[in-house]
Amino acid sequence: MIAVIDYGMGNLRSVQKSLEVVGAKVVVTHDPDLILNADSVVLPGVGSFKDCMSNLKELNLIDPIRKFIDGGKPFLGICLGLQVLFEESEEYGPVAGLGILPGKVVKFSRNISETKNGQLIKVPHMGWNKIEVKKKEPLFENIDVIAPYFYFVHSYYVVPKDKNMVATVTNYGIEFVSGIQYKNIYAFQFHPEKSQTMGLALLERFSNLN
């Protein structure tokens, strides 16, 4: 059973349906006991870092998330669910995160680079972009596509202190970390539930980690 954490933010139903498409049994919940007893947990998210942390605190979900991760079972963070794993964010802040991973969340500069036609790259970063895989096992193992494309919607990105946890990077004017893998934690800035075939393949591999 995969528990998708419902804290009032994020594409919960999209994540649920995508996991079910690949054959996973899913429950959407904010019940700490269901979360702690799940085989895997997914923390999705769209919105502000501050609101996310506030909602997690109000629902008494911070300790269950930490305990689940400490237990060693597979954990997947999506978009904001990646960012809140870190120590703090610049968004309306600094605002403290879960502090599970060392590092911070910063905003794209509005003048990060220019496109080929001379137009400034827009913030937020929205749409399809390719990733460069740094860690193939286990979620990207045997994927034949050299530079797979995934769907992004974000204005902030993570800066981990430990570069060994970087799983994927993406270029959007600058090269930024778009995915991490650390022990039992897998977390991505892009949205696999919106990324069609490649996204479903990633979710299927995550669902089979147990």
pLDDT at 9 over 60: yes
121-132 residue pLDDT tens: 788 899 999 999
Query: 26-29 and 2-5: which strand pairing?
Result: parallel
Q: Is-catalytic flag, 154? A: no
Buried b / exposed e along 27-57 (16+ C-beta atoms within 10 A)? ebbbebebbbebebbbbbbbebbebbbebbe
Summarised one tens digit per residue, pLDDT across range 129-165 is: 999 999 988 999 877 666 789 999 999 999 999 999 9
Structure confidence at residue 116 (pLDDT): 45
Q: Which of 79, 88, 125, 154 is catalytic?
A: 79
In 178-204, which positions are buried (b, 16+ CB within 10 angstroms) versus exposed (e)? bbbbbebbbbbbbbbbbbeebbbbbbb
Does the annotation count 193 as an active-site position?
yes
Contact 160, 180 (CB under 8 A): yes
**Which domains, ranges and CATH numbers included, belong to the chain?**
2-207 (3.40.50.880)
Structure token pair of residue 100: 């599970």
pTM score, whole prediction: 0.93
How confident is the model over 29-88, as pLDDT tens digits? Answer: 999 999 999 999 999 988 899 999 999 999 999 999 999 999 999 999 999 999 999 999
What pLDDT is attached to residue 110?
A: 59
